């Protein structure tokens, strides 16, 4: 119901933000930070 809808609505933009940060850190050569953000994005999308 509404809980599921709310989780999807919050997880999707948060996942996109983490993906973007992962990409940005990767481009900057900050590979550990990049991996952390990619992992968080993946986790959010899995649990949405």
Q: How many residues does the structure list for the chain?
A: 48
pLDDT at 25: 98
In the structure, what pLDDT confidence band is assigned to residue 37 with cuts at 50, 70 and 90?
very high
What is the count of structural domains for the chain? 1
22 touches 34 (CB < 8 A) = yes
User: Which range scores top for mean pLDDT: 4-13, 25-34, 35-44?
Assistant: 25-34
25 touches 37 (CB < 8 A) = yes
The domain of 19 spans: 2-46
CA atoms of 9 and 46, how far apart (whole Å): 14
Q: pTM (2 decimals)?
A: 0.76
Q: What phi-psi label fits residue 19: left (phi over 0), alpha (psi between -120 and 50 degrees) or beta? A: alpha
């Amino acid at each position: 119901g509404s809980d599921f809808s709310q989780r999807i609505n919050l997880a999707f933009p948060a996942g996109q933000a983490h993906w973007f940060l992962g990409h940005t850190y990767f481009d900057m050569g900050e590979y550990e930070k990049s991996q952390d953000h990619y992992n968080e994005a993946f986790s959010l999308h899995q649990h949405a």
